[in-house]
A and B are shown apart, each in its own frame.
Chain A
Amino acid sequence: MGVSSSPNALNSSLVARAVYAAIRECASTLRPDVLEAIRASWLSSKDAGADSRQTSVLHAIIENALIAERDNVPICQDTGTVWVCLEVGEELSVPGGVFREVNDAVARAYEDGKLRMSVVRDALFDRSNTNNNTPAFCELRIVPGSGALLHVLLKGGGSDNASRVCMLSPDAGASGVAQVVINCVREKAANACPPLVVGVGVGATFDKVAGMSKHALLRPIGSPAQSDEAAAFESELLGTINACGIGPAALGGTPTALAVHLETAPCHIAALPVAVNMGCCAMRSATIDLMKADII
């Protein structure tokens, strides 16, 4: 059960157990929708007799996923920083210490799983390794209802470094947003391990828009967009990105991106915030329904 004996309180040790299990599983598992999209690209590349560099990179990504799962080896040496988002229904209460327990779970999962410790103490003043991959970067969202969802994303440094936030003038409109996305892909895709999932946030504020672009990465490839308008814009952006010819591993060809996922939001009358968060070909994330998580 997702709630403890105290009525309507989220059980923080259940959250921690779910985080631990998700990290151990995600590190050596390519997200199934990403694997499926890579496989489809590989088949069409092979059938088209396309440039063998493109076909062999796609094949290597599939083979890597199989080896990782078989041998329980991480799919990427950058086992990431841990990004955790708790979406909790407003009818539940959340124990204050939940993210402290999450951090304990992260430390144990990275030690037990022999994952890479990739966090330094302070970005500017102390770049010594924390040696347990904490802190996790955590967010709490209160949503309607009585449910509780946990999102865990292991985010690589290369793809996050290839991301950006731009504050456009509202008159820049959709073409301005598209230009930000395309420029980011052209300039940075080679560093972000394509084929990519490109997360795009538009709206909110300078700080929130980056989070929206990260959330967009959680959505499974092929699942419905936020609206028909959003779906049409996503497909237009994907077409333009894949016409760039950067290709798998940036060694030429197609696809450069498997999907573009867009989230939009209200914003200030003077603003048009845009964020692009690159998701690499080793996408590792899980979404767990904590109300059904009694198996953990």
Chain B
Amino acid sequence: MTSPIKLQLPLAHEELAHLSAGDEVLLSGNIYTMRDAGHKRCMEYLEEHGKLPFNLAGQTLFYAGPTPPAAGRPIGAVGPTTASRMDFATPALMRAGIVATIGKGKRSEEVVRACKETGAVYFAAIGGIAALLAECVHASELIAWEDLGTEALRKLEVVNFPVYVEIDTKGNDLYRNIESES
């Protein structure tokens, strides 16, 4: 295996086009937490205004709901939640400008097609290592939806955040490749 590819956020489509399913990537820069309740609100905004809220176009979404931070820390524990619950919204969000998503687990055929069509990527992060992943988070800022608690929209500044390319811009899918090999 080769060494991880280091990428700076926000991610450019030209950089994403070079990635292949299975590549290990270290992300640095800003990512945005959004999960079930946030996706519902984001879709309502998109349907009403025809664009993404909070200048999210060009950004990367992280499907995560962190624990509250201990004193003096930017965040508690943070890690990926199951991505397929966001499948209902992801193709529309990618068409509106989201360039990458981070979660765990398989995505629908529609999401694979949306990655191919829009040049977006789905990254898998490792589930169950949230204390370790939190060490990659250097700052956290509440952007919106504070009433949603852990499901609020937050901007996380990450440094060398480890992920794997799960679906690349050609529509190759690491999980489906692993399934078909077994």
Closest to B70 in A: A114
Of the candidates B69, B128, B162, B174, which one forms a contact with A61 in the assembled complex, judged by CB atoms under 8 Å apart? Answer: B128
Contact code string A122-162 (vs B, CB < 8 Å = 1, else 0): 00000101010000000000000000000000000110010
Instruction: Please give, as numbers and ranges, the residues of chain B lying within 8 Å of A57 by CB-CB distance.
Output: 126
Chain A residue at smallest Cβ distance from B135:
A67
A73 touches B70 (CB 8 A): yes
B9 interface residue per 8 A CB criterion:
no
| Interface band, chain A | 35 or more
Residues 208-267 of A at the B interface (beta carbon under 8 Å): 243-247, 249-252
The CA of A117 and the CA of B76, in the complex, are separated in Å by 13
Do residues A158 and B81 form an inter-chain contact, with CB atoms below 8 A?
yes
Number of chain B residues close to chain A: CB under 8 A? 42
Question: B153 on the interface (CB 8 Å rule)?
Answer: no
Our pick among B1, B78, B105 for the contact of A51 (Cβ within 8 Å) is B1
CB of A64 within 8 A of CB of B105, answer no
Option from A63, A127, A131, A191 in Cβ contact (under 8 Å) with B82:
A191
The answer to whether A116 touches B126, judged by C-beta atoms less than 8 angstroms apart, is: no
| Known A158-B82, A250-B175; contact A193-B127, beta-carbon cutoff 8 A | yes
Q: Would A245 and B67 count as touching, CB distance under 8 A?
A: no
What chain B residues lie within 8 Å of A73 (beta carbons)?
Answer: 67, 70, 76-77, 130-131, 134
Q: Which residue of B lies closest to A38 (CB)?
A: B128
| Chain B nearest CB, measured from A44 CB (Å) | 18
From residue B160, how far is it (CB to closest CB) to chain A in Å?
A: 13
Give 5 nearest A-B pairs by CB, closest first: A193-B127, A282-B128, A245-B182, A191-B105, A64-B129
Chain B, Cβ-Cβ closest to A282: B128
Cα A252 to Cα B24 with chains together (Å): 13
B127 touches A158 (CB 8 A): yes
> Among the listed B64, B132, B175, which residue makes an inter-chain contact with A67, where contact means beta carbons less than 8 Å apart?
B132
Within 87-135 of B, Cβ neighbours of A (below 8 Å) are at 104-106, 124, 126-132, 134-135
Chain A interface mostly: loop
**Distance to closest chain A CB from B33 (angstroms):** 10
Q: Are B131 and A245 in contact (CB under 8 A)?
A: no
Contact status A53-B129, CB under 8 Å: no
Whether B78 contacts A52 by the Cβ 8 Å rule is no
Contact A249 B127 (CB under 8 A): yes
Annotate B170-182 by CB proximity to A: 1 below 8 A, 0 otherwise: 0000110011011
Is B128's CB under 8 angstroms from A280's CB? yes
Q: Does residue A103 face the partner (Cβ distance < 8 Å to B)?
A: no
Q: A residues near B, CB below 8 A?
A: 28, 51-53, 57, 60-61, 63-65, 67-68, 71-79, 114-118, 127, 129, 131, 157-158, 161, 186, 190-191, 193, 243-247, 249-252, 280-282
**Which residues of the partner chain B approach A63 to less than 8 Å between Cβ atoms?**
129, 132
Q: Which B-chain residue is minimally distant from A280 (CB atoms)?
A: B128
Known A64-B129, A129-B149, A246-B178; contact A158-B77, beta-carbon cutoff 8 A:
no
Residue B32 CB within 8 A of the other chain: no
- The interface residues of chain B lying within 8 Å CB-to-CB of A114 are 67-70, 76
Known: A67-B135, A158-B127, A252-B178. A76 touches B105 (CB 8 A): no
Nearest neighbor of B69 in chain A, beta-carbon distance:
A114
The 11 listed contacts between A and B (C-beta, < 8 Å) are A28-B131, A67-B131, A73-B134, A74-B76, A74-B77, A76-B79, A77-B76, A77-B150, A114-B67, A244-B182, A251-B174
Inter-chain contacts of A191 with B (CB < 8 A): 82, 84, 104-106
Task: Point out the residues of chain B lying under 8 angstroms from A79, CB to CB.
Answer: 67, 77
Q: Complex Cα distance A243/B130, Å?
A: 28
List residues of chain A with CB within 8 A of the CB of B178. Answer: 245-247, 250-252
B130–A74 contact, CB under 8 A? yes
